[in-house]
Amino acid sequence: MRILVVEDERNLADAIVRGLRRKGMAVDVAYDGLTGHEMAFVTRYDVVVLDRDLPGMPGDQICADLVRSGALTRVLMLTASASVGSRVEGLQLGADDYLPKPFAFEELVARVQALGRRATPQAPPVLSVADLLLDQAKRIATRAGTLLELTNKEFGVLEELLKARGAVVSSEELLERVWDANTDPFTTTVRVTINTLRRKLGDPPLIETVVGAGYRVPDAA
């Protein structure tokens, strides 16, 4: 899941980013509205965690522009105001959810995860192919009943391949969906992660390389 956090309180923004990354999400951050607006329209994010009161451009404007664009990106609006009127105002702008500050981090995570599921085509909570099972909510994967010890990135790559339902997923798409903006687009990290993942999955092999296109896990693997 790819997340953008737009929040000018740097300590809060950085804490949110660290926490979401620990949950296995790919997270980018912007500390002002203009930067956040640009990033939101350059990269396809599942969820934007958006403060209403931002320097440069208000969060309200970013939210409204995202809604007008028809993007599938979901918006979780943050604000210091806990009034009902403020919540209604934010939702009327097109925000999908609204969370007043201060908030419990676990509640933020739950809301981001719920919005993320709405931002992509519906997939079953447990993905499977052959004897491989991947539980997206619990973030565990097993093969032939044996728990696989996967890193967050390995789990994310496997999740994206299974969600594609046999279609080819390019290295660029995997970088966009699993890693964040700080990753060098010319890095070999996807290939290295795929190779490690293959070893952990064992035999018979599940992940195919499609030369010049990317990787896939055939439905009938």
The enclosing domain of 72 has a CATH number of 3.40.50.2300
What are residue 99's DSSP bridge partners?
78
Last residue of a domain, one of 93, 119, 145: 119
Q: Flag whether pLDDT at 86 surpasses 70.
A: no
Q: Flag whether pLDDT at 221 surpasses 60.
A: no
Higher-confidence position of 143 and 25 = 143
Q: Are residues 115 and 132 in the same domain?
A: no
Last residue of a domain, one of 78, 103, 119: 119
* Domains of the chain: total: 2
Q: How confident is the model at residue 92 (pLDDT cuts 50, 70, 90)?
A: confident
Token reading at 147? 């728990």
> What pLDDT score was predicted for residue 202?
94
Whether 48 is covered by a domain: the verdict is: yes
What are residue 74's DSSP bridge partners?
47
Q: Are residues 94 and 171 in the same domain?
A: no
Q: Are residues 110 and 131 in the same domain?
A: no
Which residues are CB-neighbours of 198 under 8 A, at least 6 positions away?
Answer: 205, 206, 207
Cα separations (Å) of 110 from 26, 44, 75, 107, 126?
A: 16, 21, 14, 5, 18
Last residue of a domain, one of 101, 119, 137: 119
Which residues are CB-neighbours of 7 under 8 A, at least 6 positions away?
Answer: 13, 16, 29, 31, 49, 50, 51, 54, 78
> What pLDDT score was predicted for residue 119?
62
| Span of 60-74, 105-119, 178-192, 193-207 with lowest mean pLDDT | 178-192
Q: Are residues 114 and 196 in the same domain?
A: no
Domain containing 186 equals 126-216
**Nearest in space to 75 (alpha carbons), one of 57, 56, 88, 62:** 62
What digits encode the pLDDT tens for the residues 50-73?
A: 999 899 999 999 999 998 888 889
Whether 221 is covered by a domain: the verdict is: no
Query: For the residues 95-119, what does the mean pLDDT come to?
Result: 87
Token reading at 191? 């290939």
How far apart (Å, rounded) are the C-alpha atoms in residues 124 and 126? 5
The burial class, CB within 10 Å (0-12 / 13-18 / 19+), for 84 is: exposed
Q: Are residues 63 and 99 in the same domain?
A: yes
Q: Are residues 107 and 211 in the same domain?
A: no
Q: Are residues 74 and 48 in the same domain?
A: yes
Q: Are residues 176 and 69 in the same domain?
A: no
How far apart (Å, rounded) are the C-alpha atoms in residues 63 and 61? 5
Q: Are residues 11 and 80 in the same domain?
A: yes
Whether 77 is covered by a domain: the verdict is: yes
> What pLDDT score was predicted for residue 173?
85
Contact present, 50 and 9 (Cβ < 8 Å): no
Q: Are residues 115 and 130 in the same domain?
A: no
Q: Flag whether pLDDT at 126 surpasses 60.
A: yes
Which residues are CB-neighbours of 57 under 8 A, at least 6 positions away?
Answer: 32, 33, 34, 36, 37
Q: Give me the chain's average pLDDT, please.
A: 87
Whether 184 is covered by a domain: the verdict is: yes
Backbone φ and ψ of 21, nearest 5°: -65, -35
How far apart (Å, rounded) are the C-alpha atoms in residues 108 and 174? 25
Whether 66 is covered by a domain: the verdict is: yes
Residue 156, CB half-sphere, CA atoms under 13 Å: how many? 23
Q: Are residues 141 and 60 in the same domain?
A: no
Q: Are residues 138 and 113 in the same domain?
A: no
Query: For the residues 132-160, what does the mean pLDDT come to?
Result: 92
